[in-house]
Homo-oligomer: A and B are copies of this chain.
């Protein structure tokens, strides 16, 4: 077992579920001594590559020069906050720093509740491990924390807003750009705006990945009232933030970035964002993901296996026609030296581009082994229902590959 046996937290890790000894760029050396190509990349938090020299040397310099202090703010905090705000491009906004996406999303909920004096939260997508996001007993019912899930289904969001008119503090959603059509995201955002409720784009996963800050406003045509960022910020160091309209954020005044100032994640973030900016990072991440997806699709077709590669950007999902095929593929890829995020999104880093050929070779070997275990064409393809279930696992909500009515039936099964 990779998890230390006295630690209780059951964190999902990649097959073959071994511990990391060291890591560099696209590669992770596990406790079996083998070098793996990593497509988990800290669940998408590593965008430059493991132990990237730009980040590591910035931290080392910071320590050598004994900069900043745990007791005080530093100019580094100002530079980073101004930069993020500039990247988002909204005027009259304020920002609060936290350590984790979970904390930033909780802060969004609490700020919205304090600002509006209302309690109900309409939510779609994953926002952290906290009890705020526990499942309710029935669809469209709020859980004990006052959160109702609308699963990215516009019709459900409309119902939630109607049922709780005058009580909604916030609509919060985590955009998906793999399974969800841009038009659906636009409809969802528009419904919130028409109802004049606050809207938070939880960009913990997507932010600072395919472009600086958020692609949300480009996708839907206007800005959310609040944004959360985390994974794209600092190449695997623990940092998150909540940014939003000054009037709303004023309610977050007392939400302390805990008691003290750990400046290493700030330094890591500045180095990460600098590097991404000065090396066409976002564009390269998207291109690398697209090239990888094409390469994987070509291989899958050659072996005539019923496996789909969804996504064309920095995040991909591999979905096989059956659960058994899925499991065999992941196990076989692990044996060839690929770390994959089983059933969830694969995420490239800038370092992935350097090992694309070798990555595809390993994926091919994984496919060869898999094709020897499974007869071709049974089933011939990934069904809509199967795709829906796979997407549900990745986005914690319903993709729009099926009708709203069908989605609601399938959501009831998945819950």
Q: Which residues of B contact A93 (CB under 8 A)?
A: 6
In the assembly, what is the distance between CA of A82 and CA of B5, in Å? Answer: 9
Closest to A8 in B: B94
Interface residues on A, range: 35 or more
Known: A19-B75, A63-B56, A129-B255. A70 touches B97 (CB 8 A): no
| Contacts A9-B257, A56-B63 given; does A38 touch B71 at CB 8 Å | yes
Q: Which residue of chain B lies nearest to A11 when distances are taken between CB atoms in the complex?
A: B256
- Which of chain B's residues have a CB closer than 8 A to the CB of A23? 66, 68-71
Does A131 sit within 8 A of B, measured CB to CB? yes
Q: Check A231 for interface membership: any CB of B closer than 8 A.
A: yes
Tell me, in angstroms, the Cα distance from A149 to B175 when the chains sit together.
39
Q: Is A45 interfacial (CB 8 A cutoff)?
A: yes
The residue from B5, B42, B66, B231 contacting A22, defined by CB atoms under 8 A apart: B66
Q: Is A382 on the interface with B (CB-CB < 8 A)?
A: no
Q: Counting chain B CB atoms within 10 Å of each CB, which of A14, A46, A74, A262 scores highest?
A: A262
CA distance A10 to B326 in the complex (A): 49
A65 at interface by CB-CB < 8 Å: yes
B261 touches A21 (CB 8 A): no
CB distance from A24 to the nearest CB of B (A): 5
Distance, CA A2 to CA B9, complexed state (A): 38
Give A95-116 interface residues, CB cut-off 8 Å to B.
95-97, 99-103, 106, 110, 113
B4 contacts A71, C-beta separation under 8 Å: no
Q: Are B11 and A257 in contact (CB under 8 A)?
A: yes
Pick out which of these stretches binds chain B: A182-190, A245-253, A372-380, A391-399. A245-253
Residue of B nearest to A82 (CB): B6
Residues of B within 8 A of A102 (CB): 103, 258
Question: Are A20 and B73 in contact, CB atoms less than 8 angstroms apart?
Answer: yes
From A78, which residue of chain B is reached at the shortest CB distance?
Answer: B4
Q: Is A218 an interface residue (CB 8 A)?
A: no
Q: Chain B residues with Cβ under 8 A from A137's Cβ?
A: none
Q: Is A290 interfacial (CB-CB < 8 Å)?
A: no
Is the pair A70, B41 in contact by a Cβ cutoff of 8 Å?
yes
Contacts of A308 in B (CB 8 A): none
Report yes or no: A106 in contact with B130, Cβ–Cβ below 8 A: yes
B95:A66 contact, CB within 8 angstroms: no
A131, B106: Cα distance in complex, Å: 9
Check if B46 sits within 8 Å of A70, measured CB to CB.
yes
- Whether A259 contacts B45 in the complex (CB less than 8 A), given A9-B253, A265-B238, comes out as yes
Interface flag for A40 (CB, 8 Å): yes
User: Which of chain B's residues has its CB closest to A2's CB?
Assistant: B73
Looking at the assembled complex, report how far the CB atom of A203 sits from the nearest CB atom of chain B, in whole angstroms.
Answer: 14
Q: Which residues of B contact A6 (CB under 8 A)?
A: 78, 81-82, 85, 93-95
With contacts A23-B66, A71-B20 taken as known, whether A81 is within 8 angstroms of B4 at the C-beta atoms is yes
The residue that A28 contacts in the complex, of B11, B69, B262, with Cβ under 8 A, is B69
The A41-84 residues at the B interface (CB cut-off 8 A) are: 41-46, 50-51, 56, 59-60, 63-75, 77-78, 81-82
A6-B67 Cα distance, complex, nearest whole Å: 22
Interface flag for A223 (CB, 8 Å): no
Selected A-B contacts with CB under 8 Å, 27 pairs: A2-B72, A4-B78, A6-B81, A7-B96, A8-B95, A9-B97, A9-B252, A14-B71, A20-B71, A22-B66, A22-B68, A31-B75, A41-B71, A42-B70, A42-B71, A42-B260, A45-B259, A50-B69, A50-B71, A51-B66, A60-B60, A102-B103, A103-B103, A113-B131, A236-B261, A236-B262, A237-B264
The 7 A-B residue pairs with the shortest CB-CB distance, nearest first, are: A42-B70, A70-B236, A4-B78, A20-B69, A23-B69, A42-B260, A99-B99
- Point out residues on A near B: beta carbons under 8 Å: 2-11, 13-14, 18-24, 28, 30-31, 38, 40-46, 50-51, 56, 59-60, 63-75, 77-78, 81-82, 85, 93-97, 99-103, 106, 110, 113, 128-131, 231, 236-238, 246, 249-250, 252-262, 264-265, 339
